[in-house]
Amino acid sequence: MTAGVLPIKELYTAGIEAPAGIDSMGRDLIAAGDPEYIFLAGKNWKNFDYTSGLDKLIESGNSDIVHKAGIFWPSFDYAKGMKFLENQASADYIYRAGRFWPGFDHRYGLELLGKLNSAKFIYYAGKEWKQFDFERGFDLLMQNGTAEFIFYGGAYWKQFDFSRGFTKLIECAIPEYIYRAGTIWSVFDYVTAWQKLEVLVTSGGEWRGRAFANNRWKAEIVKIWDSMWGE
């Protein structure tokens, strides 16, 4: 029986009902090279060569199928799968695998996200992964220096160094995220932040206006003015 004689869909369907020990079906299906059917066979067949199947999926370069195999296959080489994701340089799928792969190496995965310099997925990993080194993740976030995800980290991570994060946020000098951090961060230096918004005369105008309309900011601005008048 070969994939050339039996169409791939029929071969896959036959393999679902086949008793254990019929290896030729698996060899034929893997040799046919269709990633979707290789994935389905690994998920649903009683008898499947997971090593050869994964090698063929990796050869296909299909990150989505390899990712799904890592979730649903009862046997999966996670080290090989992670090496594939590293070679693909896909921060998105590294993040996804960190959420769903039972055998994911979270420490290694975080370093891969740092290597790819992906502030977005470093942030999402800190928010969604069940295992996450917040100290290392924070360092990588600071090295990247993207104001948007520094803001989000301070807003939603379970652990965050607000002192260093605030300093970096001010250095970024993007008024939107200075303002937004002031609306939600649990630790925030309003005096320094307001001074920065005033220095950013043009770009900070809209956000100074929003600060006056926000109850939390407005209360802090009143305190700043009261301290100035008290002098």
Q: Within 13 Å, how many C-alpha atoms sit on residue 95's CB side?
A: 19
Q: Which residues contact 104 (CB under 8 A, 6 or more apart)?
A: 70, 78, 82, 97, 98
Whether residue 47 sits in one domain with residue 3: yes
Q: What is the pLDDT of residue 2?
A: 44
Strand, helix or coil for residue 89: coil
- Residue 225 forms part of a structural domain: yes
- Residue 152 forms part of a structural domain: yes
Whether residue 59 sits in one domain with residue 9: yes
Q: What is the pLDDT of residue 4?
A: 47
Whether residue 28 sits in one domain with residue 1: yes
Whether residue 68 sits in one domain with residue 25: yes
Say how far apart CA 46 and CA 192 lie, in whole Å. Answer: 64
Whether residue 100 sits in one domain with residue 67: no
The answer to whether residues 80 and 54 touch, using CB atoms and an 8 Å cutoff, is: yes
Q: What is the pLDDT of residue 231?
A: 54
- Residue 127 forms part of a structural domain: yes
Tens of pLDDT along the chain (231 residues) come to 444 446 888 888 888 876 655 567 788 899 999 999 999 999 999 889 999 999 999 999 999 999 999 999 999 999 999 999 999 999 999 999 999 999 999 999 999 999 999 999 999 999 999 999 999 999 999 999 999 999 999 999 999 999 999 999 999 999 999 999 999 999 999 999 999 999 999 999 999 999 999 999 999 999 999 887 765
Q: Which residues contact 102 (CB under 8 A, 6 or more apart)?
A: none
In which element (H, E) is residue 149 found? Answer: helix 147-156
Say how far apart CA 136 and CA 189 lie, in whole Å. Answer: 24
Where does a domain end: 76, 97, 113? 76
Where does a domain end: 76, 101, 116? 76
- Residue 12 forms part of a structural domain: yes
Where does a domain end: 76, 110, 132? 76
- Residue 82 forms part of a structural domain: no
Average pLDDT, the chain: 93
Whether residue 93 sits in one domain with residue 51: no
Whether residue 165 sits in one domain with residue 111: no
Nearest to residue 35, comparing CAs of 8, 62, 2?
62
Say how far apart CA 109 and CA 61 lie, in whole Å. Answer: 19
- Residue 84 forms part of a structural domain: no
Q: What is the pLDDT of residue 160?
A: 98
Domains identified in the chain, total number? 3
Dihedral sign, CA of 5, 6, 7, 8? Answer: negative
Whether residue 123 sits in one domain with residue 66: no
Provide Rg for the chain, Cα atoms: 26
Q: What is the pLDDT of residue 167?
A: 98
Strand, helix or coil for residue 34: coil
Q: Which residues contact 173 (CB under 8 A, 6 or more apart)?
A: 196, 200
Whether residue 175 sits in one domain with residue 162: yes
Whether residue 150 sits in one domain with residue 134: no
Whether residue 193 sits in one domain with residue 138: no
- Residue 114 forms part of a structural domain: yes
Write out the residue range of the structural domain in which residue 185 sits: 145-231
Residue with token string 């991570």: 157
Q: Within 13 Å, how many C-alpha atoms sit on residue 224's CB side?
A: 15
Q: What is the pLDDT of residue 6?
A: 64
Whether residue 27 sits in one domain with residue 64: yes
